[in-house]
Structure 1
């Protein structure tokens, strides 16, 4: 393997611009740090290393349980640019790790895997779910300086979610002030460009605008039976798609 540099040294390779690749790698590195804990449970895989071997390539290493007492390591090699020539995302990184684990399940003898084709996930529905949640899950303490002003604009925050059907996401939104929780059925994001089926790139922004001064009449018209995890529920799926009057 070529000498690796976590900071990203290596010959620049033209397009995309080096700083674009650096930014993409930084996001992937941040995601890798989160995955140093077992991916799901104590006996699940975890990331134990990531290094950048050139401007456009990096290596991630997984620790994979073989039994309750033993683990093996699996090296997963990535290219920072996807099939369309644009940088891969942290979501694509996780897809590549998942593909590597699937290959290991089919052939337990492999120790090295080339993550090819990331950037075009096999399960677009999963990517849609991720994109929708990314749009909904905004932490004001981490993203803005004036938290109080933020809460005036966004009086609600994402407190839970459930994928409930084809293209539909139930988001549980809790009011900062009262602590009441409402459930809103929304369309999932449409594609990898993080655009959603609303007029805005932020579903949270759309919903917050609707609910800023209470529940407006045209939202109340779409009230449905609440589930055990909310005070009230509204099916706005068709409304956001422009299919309801």
Structure 2
């Protein structure tokens, strides 16, 4: 697992020791991982088993490549001029970044204070208790996935309970941390208006949600499931129609939220 510690120099000053973690990949992205063009680091490992996961190849930490913070920051540093000009920043995604909180925390610190980039955490919130206040101080924006309001549906979709995500959302609200809620609209699974309304009502109650991304379900990740010899159980599930997506957006906007 990732580690960080301190050592003491002869002069008595504390210094950071190098940190490494399991990284699936990194890329430049525009418009889907936070504002502007962003350097996105996809960390390996996730505690959820979402039925529609499009990054299932990041599920196991052992599938990642061991990298140091220095190496990953150096990759981001190659394109910081372009990123700043495009109004972007750096996002840590996955997988689930908070499965490696020390590694993620050091990356955020270096991205923000070393490279001067806007930072975003893309998370399900299930492991939100692992995010220290120090980590969150170096995060400008949290992209928080709330996959369902109905508890049984949430567990069916993710294999995990919903409450840790809600607890993390409330903590972010208490800290005044800006949040974009992400909600995947899956016909026959998460699209019930009452379910959407539950997510919308909760998000509106927090006071720190500046945007809601209603993400239409798609099957672009199905080939990854097949390559890993796994059955994609939503193979016969269609993408939502434009009308279904518009209805979900209308429910969020009826609660005073900006939905796109």
Provide the TM-score with structure 2 as the length reference. Answer: 0.27
Specify the structure having the higher radius of gyration (Cα).
Answer: 1
Normalized per residue, the structure richer in helix is 2
Larger relative contact order (CA 8 Å, sep ≥ 6): 2
